[in-house]
Amino acid sequence: MKIYNTLTKKKEEFVPIEPGKVRMYVCGPTVYNLIHIGNARPMIFFDTVRRYFEHKNYQVNYVSNFTDVDDKIIKKAQEEGVDSSVISQRYIAECKKDMEGMNIRPATTHPLATQEIDGMIEMISQLIDKGYAYVVEDGTVYFRVRKFAGYGKLSGKNLDDLRSGNRSLLVTGEDQKEDPMDFVLWKPKKEGEPYWESPWCQGRPGWHIECSVMSKKYLGEQIDIHGGGEDLVFPHHENEIAQSEAASGKEFAHYWMHNAFLNIDNKKMSKSLGNFFTVRDISEKYDLQVLRFFMLSAHYRSPLNFSADLMEAAGNGLERIRNAAERLRELEQTGTDGAMTEEQKAAADAFVEKFDAAMDDDFNTADAIAAVFELVRYANTQAAAGMGREYAAYLSKTLVTLCDILGIETEQKEELLDADIEALIEERQAARKAKNFARADEIRNQLAAKGILLEDTREGVKWRKA
């Protein structure tokens, strides 16, 4: 399996640290709002990477954080007059709902920055002890960039060039820094902000230290893959390398993988530019599986422009796959007798080989999808010519396996009709009257699993879609 490594700028053969296991860390979102479909690109892509490794029988330890302490979260909390944890908890829950809609499996662990402060204080102390960090008068702790010889190795940036571009920083209030490129590990609280006790001041961690600490805690000092969007290469990932490698003295991540941007009108989709659609917006118009299919239709290192036309094409493609899957399921029941021949099996397996070859080549999902379409075309031709039940079952299983690696469901999730919902609510009311609370809870949960929320009001039970 070959992976393009941002660190070496080459495709390299994947060799895990521990045979049969993959340790993978992907930087997650800052939770102050609903996620937009640009944020969804790394989520969908790295979920697919994980699924492919599992298909190849690797055991994957997949860690992806939620950044739940940050200026933007604090600002939103102040606007709403609530604690910042109210904001972060709300948007973590919403993000998980969106992930489920996009068929993104929960990571092995989703750590929260605010739950890992002790580890951060420990790593910062260690960096100070080793001379890689220093404390200034107001209690801010900075990383001493010039002490770390490998600084710039991921982004290819040169410290002197960076410095000349950043002179202005020295005169804009950060003048306690030894060097304009030094970055914050810990900073003092401001009035009204959440804070933690530390040896340096009451304050909070910088953003970069979070990932170094969470990655170390859940995956160990050395990991196989570290991923995220390409905007994270510098400074975030460069700084993570500096912190982690300065602390451990070992190479941090072997393979650095970065997805290109999801664009709109050829500009990066982002909250700050205001040119974004949330995943929730899209879910009102499309099945989120279509969004997933659209994202995977391009190679992850190519920019992808969002457009209604491309979404429509993705929707049509997905439908073609689902129709073929449906036809094969029917033929499993109604097909002719007779065993699958060796030639037939080999013909079906050839599509899997093609799919795997594409995925082995730096996760080329575009070519992998082309292999799925070839299988669909082949299955349709075979079906038209009449097919045995055994072969239909084999082709069906093959198609489902490949779609599953892409996180694409071949059967559309059945939507509950309003009438079904009302009937279940009535049954729940009857169960409660009869004091059968177990059944009543079961119905509530069954509805919740389909995104239907119940609210008991004085006028009776009201329901709404989550």
State how far the alpha carbon of 444 is from the alpha carbons of 433, 441, 460, in Å: 15, 5, 15
Please select the residue that binds Zn ion; options are 34, 102, 141, 211, rule is CB under 5 A: 211
Pairing of strands 21-26, 223-229: parallel
147 binds ligand AMP (CB under 6 A): no
Stated length of the chain:
466
Q: Which stretch binds Zn ion (CB under 5 A): 152-160, 207-215, 275-283, 325-333?
A: 207-215
**Nearest residue (CB) to ligand AMP, 2 versus 271:** 271
Which residues neighbour 456 within 8 Å (Cβ) at sequence distance 6 or greater? Answer: none
396 token code pair:
């069906």
In whole angstroms, the minimum distance from the beta carbon of 59 to ligand AMP comes to 24
Residue 270 as a binder of ligand AMP (CB under 6 A): the answer is yes
- The size of the interface with ligand AMP (CB under 6 A), counted in residues, is 17
Q: In this chain, which stretch among 173-181, 262-270, 310-318, 346-354 interacts with ligand AMP, using CB under 6 A?
A: 262-270
Give the C-alpha separation, 105 to 99, whole Å.
7
Q: Which is nearer to ligand AMP, 109 or 270 (CB)?
A: 270
HSE-CB for 270 with a 13 A CA cutoff: 8
61 binds ligand AMP (CB under 6 A): no
**Minimum distance of ligand AMP from residue 26's CB (angstroms):** 7
State in angstroms the smallest separation of the CB of 27 from Zn ion: 3
- Strand order of the β-sheet with 203-205 is 133-135, 141-143, 183-188, 203-205
Q: Can residue 262 be called a binding residue for ligand AMP (CB under 6 A)?
A: yes
Site for ligand AMP, residues 197 to 236, rule: CB under 6 A? 228-229, 231-232
- Regarding 110 and contact with ligand AMP (CB under 6 A), the answer is no
Q: Residue 29, interface with ligand AMP (CB under 6 A)?
A: yes
- Piece of 86-94, 164-172, 210-218, 405-413 that binds Zn ion (CB under 5 A): 210-218
* Token representation of residue 12: 């390299």
Q: Are 106 and 99 in contact (CB under 8 A)?
A: yes
- Phi and psi of 185, rounded to 5°? -105, -35
Residues 218 and 62 sit within 8 Å (Cβ to Cβ): no
Q: State residue 19 phi and psi, 5-degree precision.
A: -55, 135
CB of 347 to ligand AMP, least distance (A): 38
Q: Should residue 261 be labelled a site residue for ligand AMP when binding is judged by CB under 6 A?
A: yes
Which part of the chain contacts Zn ion (CB under 5 A), choosing from 70-78, 211-219, 326-334, 436-444? 211-219
Tokens of 78: 């102040």
Number of residues that bind Zn ion (CB under 5 A): 2
Query: Cα(199)–Cα(190) distance, rounded to whole angstroms?
Result: 17
Q: Which residues pair with 189 in a beta bridge?
A: none
* Piece in contact with ligand AMP (CB under 6 A), picked from 5-13, 137-145, 187-195, 260-268: 260-268
Residue showing the smallest CB distance to ligand AMP in the complex:
229
38 binds, among ligand AMP, Zn ion, none (CB under 5 to 8 A by kind): ligand AMP
Q: Does 27 bind Zn ion (CB under 5 A)?
A: yes
Q: State the binding partner of 155 from ligand AMP, Zn ion, none, CB within 5 to 8 A by kind.
A: none
Of 298 and 447, which has the nearer Cβ to ligand AMP? 298
Q: Which of ligand AMP, Zn ion, none does residue 246 bind (CB under 5 to 8 Å by kind)?
A: none
Q: C-beta of 69: minimal distance to ligand AMP in Å? A: 13
Q: How far is the CB of 54 from ligand AMP (least distance, A)?
A: 22
Provide the minimum distance between the beta carbon of 253 and ligand AMP in the complex, in angstroms, as a whole number. 15
Asked if 27 touches ligand AMP (CB under 6 A), the answer is: yes
> Is position 376 an interface residue for Zn ion (rule: CB under 5 A)?
no
In whole angstroms, how close is the CB of 122 to Zn ion at the nearest point?
18
Q: Position 86: which residue type?
A: V
Choose the binding region for ligand AMP from 53-61, 152-160, 249-257, 261-269 (rule: CB under 6 A).
Answer: 261-269
Binding ligand AMP (rule: CB under 6 A), the pick from 5, 7, 14, 42 is 42
**Binding site residues, Zn ion, CB under 5 A:** 27, 211
**Binding site residues, ligand AMP, CB under 6 A:** 27, 29-30, 38-39, 41-42, 228-229, 231-232, 259, 261-262, 268-270
